[in-house]
Structure 1
Amino acid sequence: MSNDLSTTVLTLGVGLAVVVALMTTGLLLARAQQKLTVVDTLWGLGFVAVAIASTAVSFAGDGDPVVRWILLAMTAVWGLRLAIYLHRRNHGQAEDPRYAELAEADGRSFSRVAISRVFLPQGIAMFLVATPLMVGVNTEDPVWALVVAGVVVWAVGLFFEAVGDAQLAAFKADPANKGQVMDQGLWRYTRHPNYFGDACVWTGIWLVAASSWVGLATAISPIAMTVFLTKVTGASLNEKGMRKTKPGYEEYVRRTSGFIPLPPKKG
């Protein structure tokens, strides 16, 4: 249960540089388009970029090669699927109502809102969430039971996220559902199957990295991801808008779990 500390420190430094470069690029694109939604696509792609850079740096150390490739594959599959889905959903559309309301409520210039309310907090969150990935690729003596458990939890998360997104897209594509609340499929058991899936994905990645004491310390990753999804730009902003635009949403909230999938309440 050991970790190559010198290579880990180098990996963290390179990962931080990648995050800064990505968020700076995203900020420039957002300013050019006057559209904060750019950050949604960048979120998934950013983790993939960090994973590729971290894997490349880890070859300088003695990390286990199997764990190294497992972590890269887990991050790449999740990040690319998410980025492609969000790009297709947002392409050609107006600003996401969450970001539009955020910019309007803040009252400052677009650039200041973009930096202080979107790209800076998301950059910090990205670095914190990616820590088990950057640490895990340098694990020398993995505990394989943790690795297997991590892959299983990751797979559950990917299922909830991918299936939940697909079900919501199909629901919105049907004109008969306009103005209705999505309460079918996985959405019957949790109001946010995609966010629950995200949290599981990064809990799984953390478990793969948790074979060393340094990896255990990166528990901040799934914690930060869960807080970010439920309290910052995820569920809280999403539900605020839904309560205003969906007449049946309050009833949906009363009977449906907010995060962890549970049978709907009766009555």
Structure 2
Amino acid sequence: MSPWTAGLALSALLQTGLWALQRRTKNAATADLGWALSLGAFGALHAASGSGHAGRRLLAATILAAWSLRLSWHLLRERALAAAEDGRYAGFRRRWGAGAAPRFFALYLAQTPLAALLSVPLAVLAADPRPPGASGAAGAALAAAAVTGETWADRQLAAFRADPAHRGRTCREGLWRYSRHPNYFFEWLFWWGFVVMAAGSASWGWTLVAPLVMAVFLVKLTGVALTEAHALKSRPDYADYVRSTSMFIPWFPK
């Protein structure tokens, strides 16, 4: 069985199980959790079945596994086990009403082809016969820096929200002073690490799929767009935050 077929099957089974779970918990944030775990599985499958240099395959799979486990733990702790459903999914649930179950099922299953698409750089790296070399080291360093930045941003936001005095207010501390979505920025930056790692590969261009797709989803579809629509309705100070702070790429506030 090819890594693509195995990955699609595993991811679809996982997402179906998580969808069934959310029918009881009424918390669809587990869709994100399933997506992160699915990507880690795709990375492991590509590495295990690839014909490229073992060191390059191991390096790429290890980086993706670290990213997957870190993000999965964060999503489990902060969203899947949260008392209230993430505002984006709660909004879907209200709008969809009695027809929410099949629509959420489609949303969960949509994470499977997305995970497959984002794993394309791992397939490229798994087929590369060259040892990791300088490009491998540089790409790994960039990916590690991005994971560190995303972790930092997530922790700053969690600490801010943990203070009851901050209820209904917008976090402008730490990295959140320079970007309205530093976690999304570092998430996007992470995928450029694989682009750097694959530099010089005959199939290098295919690695651009991941950061480009992530940019579209993070900014236009599921990330910034939905988060900001909810924030503008729920936080009186968010409009001023929009005027003064860079949306995505960290920069000095106005």
- For structure 1, which segment, 160-169 or 47-56, has the greater mean C-alpha deviation from structure 2 after superposition? 47-56
Alignment of 1:112 with 2:117, yes or no, is no
Alignment of 1:257 with 2:246, yes or no, is yes
Cα separation, 2, equivalents of 1:176 and 1:94: 19
Structure 2: gaps (5+ residues): none
Show CA shifts across 1:85-126 (max 9, x none).
11111214222121011232245622221133x223322221
Alignment of 1:36 with 2:25, yes or no, is no
- Whether contact under 8 Å (1:125, 1:228) holds in the other structure is no
Alpha-carbon distance, 1:184 to partner = 0.9
Partner of 2:44: 52
Residue 177 to residue 136, structure 1, CA distance change in 2 (3 Å): same
Partner of 1:13: 5
Partner of 1:138: 127
Alpha-carbon distance, 1:72 to partner = 1.3
Alpha-carbon distance, 1:158 to partner = 1.0
Cα separation, 1, equivalents of 2:38 and 2:246: 30
Partner of 2:175: 186
Which residue of 78, 81, 94 maps to 2:84?
94
Aligned amino acid, residue 154 of structure 1: A
- Whether contact under 8 Å (1:202, 1:221) holds in the other structure is yes
Alpha-carbon distance, 1:215 to partner = 3.5
Aligned amino acid, residue 246 of structure 1: R
Cα separation, 2, equivalents of 1:146 and 1:13: 29
Alpha-carbon distance, 1:43 to partner = 2.3
Cα separation, 2, equivalents of 1:36 and 1:258: 26
- Whether contact under 8 Å (1:18, 1:50) holds in the other structure is no
Cα separation, 1, equivalents of 2:158 and 2:60: 29
Alpha-carbon distance, 1:57 to partner = 1.6
- Whether contact under 8 Å (2:23, 2:101) holds in the other structure is yes
Partner of 1:66: 55
SS in 1 for 2:95: helix
Alignment of 1:216 with 2:216, yes or no, is no
- Whether contact under 8 Å (1:136, 1:210) holds in the other structure is no
- For structure 1, which segment, 137-146 or 66-75, has the greater mean C-alpha deviation from structure 2 after superposition? 137-146
Cα separation, 2, equivalents of 1:38 and 1:186: 26
Which residue of 216, 219, 229 maps to 2:218?
229
Cα separation, 1, equivalents of 2:10 and 2:199: 23
Q: CA RMSD in A?
A: 2.0
Aligned amino acid, residue 7 of structure 2: G
Q: TM-score with structure 1 length normalisation?
A: 0.87
The sequence identity of aligned pairs, in percent, is 36
SS in 2 for 1:221: helix
Alpha-carbon distance, 1:224 to partner = 0.7
Structure 1: gaps (5+ residues): 1-8
Alpha-carbon distance, 1:214 to partner = 2.2
| Greater than 6 Å deviation, 4+ residue runs | none
- For structure 1, which segment, 27-36 or 48-57, has the greater mean C-alpha deviation from structure 2 after superposition? 27-36
Partner of 1:3: none
- For structure 1, which segment, 232-241 or 203-212, has the greater mean C-alpha deviation from structure 2 after superposition? 203-212
Residue 210 to residue 126, structure 1, CA distance change in 2 (3 Å): farther
Cα separation, 2, equivalents of 1:32 and 1:208: 42
- Aligned pairs, how many? 253
Cα separation, 2, equivalents of 1:106 and 1:30: 15
Cα separation, 1, equivalents of 2:37 and 2:206: 25
Cα separation, 2, equivalents of 1:215 and 1:31: 42
Cα separation, 2, equivalents of 1:92 and 1:147: 38
- Whether contact under 8 Å (2:43, 2:122) holds in the other structure is yes
